């Protein structure tokens, strides 16, 4: 432990408090850990937010601090704020701003821990922390079993150099055919009964969340507004079952006339999704429909056959009218959601995804992988879209693209890049109970990783090239 152990501030989302309390008790390098909760009472961030949200001056505070453009960006990135009136959204931003300023002044942390930025409350504090030079660290899902990834707003935080034997083992793990297998079955996810069940569940959930917000007398509670999932263009609707009518069971036959180098696999993701809203730099690229529409029109006009496949968990959420303009283009089809993404990667020379893992898998197979801003991005392996207008140049960039001359060596370098930000641990806070030995045991590797690598991050040694090689189990 250092001579001046750091103070740590943790923000615990609803349902994760017991998990974070256990983590805080076992951060042995810290002098103090303070946990802020979404619905806390008494002196806390949550209480300050409720107080400030009732004051009309909160919106003015947001405009003074972030400006018009900053407030607009905060709103556009947050699915909670996007559905509010602009004046109300700015008021909520201002309340979060003032509450976080008060909290940070009171706690004076040297490190902030939470889950990844996925709504405006964490977006606001991340900006304040950056201005104060305080690291915001999240340990989130990694592409590898048994490992978590240290990130800061979608960028990997390098903490170690992996040994060669671990790189080989992890590369073999990613190359397994079942790596991208859907986690749901056709019978469960794609039936009328399942869609109806989801519609009814989310309707009941929204009613309960609304009533709870009224009971607490806090209509601008970010927690309650964020919990609403049955809203906007991606809510579960019975009518969305009609997407099945757009599926092309004969997608192989329809695309067979085109050689592999003229086939493009467009892999849609869960949306709204924090890795798109907050990892992607340019706001115009988080407009899901605009990007998909321009992409398909451009590739179709250039003589490519475009095979579109939706994420399994979006069936029942995505509206048929999202797909209709895409499928109106020549040489396009909607592949049934239950088809294998691995087969589509093998079948097509080129893939596109915003931030999804399919882009990584395609690169490892030597395919042309077009991405927006995934956490695994490296300039030498992917075609990156930085602006919406970049889509217009994709046909020429695809035609000019060539796989690495030494694919195995290039893949080892890519996996090593990913592993530099990874450490042992399981990302699972749901239903955590410190009285259950199995769950405590499962959390132990993450605790050891936090105690090992967070001090390195605080010391500013996280990205040094001379980090020792470490082989993890």
Instruction: Supply the DSSP symbol for 239.
Output: G
Query: Is residue 220 over pLDDT 70?
Result: no
Q: Report the chain's mean pLDDT, rounded to a whole number.
A: 88
Same domain as 398, residue 275: yes
Is position 173 within any domain?
no
Instruction: Give the integer Cα–Cα distance in Å for 379 and 381.
Output: 6
Instruction: Give the integer Cα–Cα distance in Å for 152 and 256.
Output: 43
Q: Are 352 and 268 in contact (CB under 8 A)?
A: no
CATH of the domain at 344: 3.40.50.2000
H/E run at residue 148: strand 147-152
Same domain as 387, residue 279: yes
Instruction: Give the integer Cα–Cα distance in Å for 342 and 306.
Output: 16
Same domain as 290, residue 150: no
Nearest CA to 460 among 133, 4, 128?
A: 133
In Å, the largest CA–CA distance within the chain is 69
Query: Is residue 213 over pLDDT 60?
Result: yes
The model's confidence at residue 358, banded by pLDDT at 50, 70 and 90, is very high
pLDDT digits (tens, 9 = 90+) for 235-246: 778 888 899 999
pTM of the model: 0.89
Residue 466 has a pLDDT of 53
Name the residue range of residue 103's domain.
7-160+421-470
Residue 1 has a pLDDT of 44
Instruction: Give the integer Cα–Cα distance in Å for 287 and 274.
Output: 13
Two structure tokens written together for 180: 């991208």
Which whole number is the average pLDDT over 156-170?
93
Query: Is residue 370 over pLDDT 70?
Result: yes
Cα 242 to Cα 252, 318, 338, 380, distances in angstroms = 22, 10, 16, 41
Is position 333 within any domain?
yes
Cα 329 to Cα 167, 243, 325, distances in angstroms = 42, 17, 7
Percent of the chain with pLDDT over 70: 89
Q: Give the pairing of strands 422-424 and 147-152.
A: antiparallel
Same domain as 348, residue 404: yes
Coil, helix or strand at residue 105: helix
Cis peptide before 272 (omega within 30 of 0): yes
Same domain as 425, residue 364: no
Instruction: Give the integer Cα–Cα distance in Å for 49 and 91.
Output: 11
Which whole number is the average pLDDT over 110-127?
94
Coil, helix or strand at residue 372: coil
């Amino acid at each position: 432990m250092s001579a001046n152990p750091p103070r740590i501030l943790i923000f615990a989302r609803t349902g994760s408090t017991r998990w974070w309390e256990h983590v805080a008790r076992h951060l042995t390098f810290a002098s103090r850990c303070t946990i802020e909760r979404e619905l806390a009472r008494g002196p806390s961030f949550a209480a300050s937010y409720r107080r400030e949200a009732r004051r009309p001056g909160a919106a003015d505070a947001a405009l003074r601090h972030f400006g018009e453009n900053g407030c607009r960006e905060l709103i556009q990135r947050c699915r909670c704020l996007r559905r509010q009136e602009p004046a109300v959204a700015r008021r909520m931003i201002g309340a979060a701003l003032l509450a976080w300023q008060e909290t940070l002044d009171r706690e004076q942390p040297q490190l902030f821990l939470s889950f990844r930025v996925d709504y405006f409350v964490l977006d606001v504090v991340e900006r304040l922390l950056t201005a104060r030079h305080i690291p915001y660290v999240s340990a989130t899902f990694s592409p590898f079993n048994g490992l978590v990834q240290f990130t800061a707003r979608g960028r990997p935080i390098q903490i170690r150099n992996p040994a060669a034997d671990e790189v080989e083992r992890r590369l073999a793990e990613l190359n397994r055919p079942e790596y991208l297998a859907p986690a749901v079955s056709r019978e469960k996810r794609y039936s009328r009964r399942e869609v109806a069940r989801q519609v009814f569940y989310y309707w009941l959930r929204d009613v309960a969340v609304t009533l709870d917000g009224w009971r607490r007398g806090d209509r601008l509670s970010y927690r309650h507004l964020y919990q609403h999932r049955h809203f906007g263009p991606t809510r579960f609707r019975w009518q969305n079952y009609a997407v099945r009518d757009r599926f092309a069971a004969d997608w192989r036959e329809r695309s067979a006339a085109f050689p592999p180098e003229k086939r493009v696999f467009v892999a849609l993701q869960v949306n709204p999704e924090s890795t798109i809203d907050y990892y992607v730099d340019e706001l115009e690229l988080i407009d899901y429909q605009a990007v998909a529409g321009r992409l398909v029109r451009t590739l179709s006009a250039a003589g490519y056959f475009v095979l579109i496949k939706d994420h399994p968990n979006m069936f029942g959420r995505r509206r048929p009218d999202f797909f209709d303009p895409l499928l109106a283009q020549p040489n396009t089809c909607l592949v049934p959601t239950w088809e294998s993404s691995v087969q589509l990667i093998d079948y097509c020379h080129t893939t596109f995804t915003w931030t999804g893992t399919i882009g990584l898998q395609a690169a490892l197979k030597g395919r042309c992988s077009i991405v927006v801003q995934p956490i695994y991005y490296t300039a030498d392996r992917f075609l990156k879209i930085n602006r919406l207008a970049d889509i217009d140049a994709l046909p020429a960039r695809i035609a000019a693209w060539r796989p690495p001359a030494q694919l195995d060596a290039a893949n080892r370098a890519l996996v090593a890049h990913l592993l530099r930000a990874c450490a042992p641990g399981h990302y699972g806070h749901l239903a955590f109970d410190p009285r259950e030995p199995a769950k405590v045991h499962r959390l132990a590797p993450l605790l050891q990783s936090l105690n090992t690598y967070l001090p390195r991050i605080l010391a500013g040694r996280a990205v040094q090239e001379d980090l020792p090689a470490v082989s993890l189990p």
